[in-house]
């Protein structure tokens, strides 16, 4: 059923390069499966993460997050645990635990991220920016946009931990 919406009782092929894309920071996010495809059971997105890019430490209260590393080398923090994961590894991040990841390699990394239940993709839609050129990310978020992102995240049950001030 190439290109057709899927339900919990049908199969579908979402071909390479297909799906709805946006920029979330410098990460190119492509939604492969959304809530409307699964009746809210789960959603899946592909993240293309630039070298040395790190997400903020954050926690989900409504969904579990699972990551399959399709390519690259990453450092993950899940709760108090910090570990390295590489191509072929799988990371489980249960709701309620602060977590983040960083691409520690000098090439783009590719993650396949599953959320269950789904719905978090709506948060990314609100925060994201349109993709005009997949090889050129948009400029960094402004401080005002960052404040908006924290508010948007909170509406979806996600708390972003503020960065720790550096010692002077």
pLDDT in tens, 100-153: 999 999 999 999 999 999 999 999 999 999 999 998 988 888 888 888 999 999
pLDDT in tens, 32-49: 999 998 999 999 999 999
For residue 125, the number of C-alpha atoms closer than 13 Å in the C-beta half-sphere is 9
For residue 26, the number of C-alpha atoms closer than 13 Å in the C-beta half-sphere is 15
Q: DSSP letter for 34, please.
A: -
CB count, 10 Å around CB of 36? 13
Q: Is 4's pLDDT higher than 60?
A: no
Cα dist from 127 to 14, 101, 152, whole Å: 24, 19, 7
Rounded to two decimals, what is the model's pTM? 0.88
């Amino acid at each position: 059923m190439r290109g057709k919406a899927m339900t919990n009782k049908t199969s579908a092929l979402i071909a390479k390069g297909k799906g709805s894309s946006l920029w979330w920071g410098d990460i190119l996010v492509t939604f492969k499966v959304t809530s409307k495809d699964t009746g809210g059971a789960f959603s899946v997105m592909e993240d293309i993460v630039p070298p040395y890019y790190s997400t903020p430490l954050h926690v989900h209260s409504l969904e579990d997050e699972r990551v399959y590393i399709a390519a690259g080398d990453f450092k993950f923090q899940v709760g108090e645990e910090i570990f390295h994961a590489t191509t072929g590894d799988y990371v489980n991040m249960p709701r309620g635990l602060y977590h983040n990841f960083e691409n520690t390699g000098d090439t783009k990394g590719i993650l396949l991220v599953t959320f269950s239940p789904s719905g978090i993709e709506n948060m990314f839609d609100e925060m994201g920016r349109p993709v005009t050129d997949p090889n050129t990310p948009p400029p960094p978020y402004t401080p005002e946009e960052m404040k908006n992102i924290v508010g948007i995240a909170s509406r979806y049950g996600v708390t972003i931990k503020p960065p720790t001030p550096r010692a002077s």
